[in-house]
Amino acid sequence: MRVLVTGAAGRVGANVVRRLVEADVAVTAMVLPGDRQAAKLAPLTGVRVIEADLGDQAAVDAACAGATHIVHLAAQLVRGDTPVDRFYDINAFGTLRLLEGALRTNGGIERFVLASTDGTYRPGDPPAVPLREDAPQEPADYYGTSKLLGEVILRNHAAQFDIPYSMVRFATVVSPEEAAGYFRLDSARAMLRRADLGRDSNIWQLFRGRPDLLPILDTAAGDAPPDAAVGLVGPDGHSWSLHMVDVRDAVQGVHLALTEPDALGGVFNIAAAEPTTWEHGAAVLAELFDVPKLSVAMPFDWRLEVTVDAARERLGYQPRYDFRATVQEARATASGVAADFIPARV
C-alpha cells in the first residue's frame, strides 16, 4: 500500500499521515507549495513530502505517481476573503485533476477516499434531524456547493473509469487546542458579523430573510467579557446545535474508509456520537474555565445534527471524544501531558 495524502499539512491531513506512518505504510504527503504548516510533517520519519497545487495538473500527476491509494483531504475552506471561483476551482476541479492524475499515472488506484462535509446538507435549516447520508443535499453557500460538486465528480468518474472509492462527510473538525474557542461571545459575534456582510458573505444565503442577529446578541451580552460562554437558544427553548468531531475521531473515520472492504462505494458521516448544543458547550466552558455563561434567546432555531449509524454498522467506527473530553484534553496537553495529536497550526 502506497498512499498519497493531499492536504497533508492540514488539520486532519497531518494526523492522517502520522496514523499511517505509525502503521508502517509508505506515504507521499502532498502539500501546497510554500505552506509553512508543512513543518508539522518534519518529525514524521520516512514521509515523502511533495509540493503540488491542485490547480496544476502536471504537478498533481507527479504527486500521484506510484500511489496505490489516495486520501483526498486538500480543500479550500471558508476564509473571509476567499474569492468564489477559488472554492470551485480547488474543491470541484481540483478533485477532477486528482482523479485524472490517478488514472493517467497508474491506470489503477485501489481506493480513492474523498473528504466531504456535513455542509453539503443545508446547515441551519436541515431537511432532517438527525441527517442520514441519504438526506437531500442542498447547500446554500459556496463552500458546501463546491464540496458537493467534488462528490458528484468523484461518483461520475468512479462509474466511468471503475475507480474504487469511499467518501467521508465530516462534521465540524476540531483539534483539541481549538475547542475552547467555540461557544464564546467573541466567536458568536464573528459568526454573526459574517452573516451580516450581505451578498459578500459566503454564508449570507443561510441567514437570508432572517432578522439581524448581532444587535440581539449585543443587547443580551451587555458588558459581558468577550470570552464569556454563550448558549444560543431558539424560540421553542431548544438550544442551537453544532455537530463536531475531534480530529482523532476524524482520523479513525478516514482510516476505516481507506481500509475496510465494506467502505467501498459508501458515504459515511464522521462525527462525534452526539451533537453539541450551544447550551451544553457553554456550560462546559463556564465550568472548566470559570467564565460567565449567558443564554441568548434567538428568534429562530438552528440545528446541524448527523447520525453516524452507517459508519458504526458498516465500518466499526467508534467515536471516542465528546466536546468535554476534547476540551479537557487540550487543558491536559497545555499543562505538559504529551499530546496524541498534531495541533492544527504550528
Ligand X SMILES: NC(=O)c1ccc[n+]([C@@H]2O[C@H](COP(=O)([O-])OP(=O)(O)OC[C@H]3O[C@@H](n4cnc5c(N)ncnc54)[C@H](O)[C@@H]3O)[C@@H](O)[C@H]2O)c1
Q: Does 230 bind ligand X (CB under 6 A)?
A: no
Spatial distance between the Cα atoms of 110 and 190, rounded to a whole number of angstroms: 43
- Map residues 140-169 to x or -, x wherever contact with ligand X holds by CB under 6 A: -------x----------------------
Does the CA dihedral 334-336-337-338 come out positive or negative? positive
Look up residue 3 and give its three cell numbers. 498512499
- Map residues 54-93 to x or -, x wherever contact with ligand X holds by CB under 6 A: xx-----------------xxxxx------------x---
Quick one: 14 or 221, whose CB is closer to ligand X?
14
Quick one: 115 or 282, whose CB is closer to ligand X?
115
Spatial distance between the Cα atoms of 101 and 86, rounded to a whole number of angstroms: 20
| DSSP run (H or E) holding 230 | strand 229-233
Give the amino acid at 57.
Q
Provide the minimum distance between the beta carbon of 263 and ligand X in the complex, in angstroms, as a whole number: 17
Spatial distance between the Cα atoms of 111 and 264, rounded to a whole number of angstroms: 8
Please state the length of the chain: 346
- Interaction with ligand X in 172-191: which residues (CB under 6 A)? 172-173
Q: Does 17 bind ligand X (CB under 6 A)?
A: no
CA gyration radius, the chain: 20
Residue nearest ligand X by beta-carbon distance: 10
- The DSSP 8-state label assigned to residue 264 in this structure reads T
Select from 3, 4, 5, 7 the one that contacts ligand X (CB under 6 A). 7
Q: Does 170 bind ligand X (CB under 6 A)?
A: yes
Could you identify the residue written with the cell 476540551? 327
Provide the minimum distance between the beta carbon of 270 and ligand X in the complex, in angstroms, as a whole number: 9
Q: Does 115 bind ligand X (CB under 6 A)?
A: yes
Look up residue 120 and give its three cell numbers. 453539503
Binding residues vs ligand X (CB under 6 A)? 7, 9-13, 32, 35, 37, 53-55, 73-77, 90, 94, 115, 117, 147, 170, 172-173
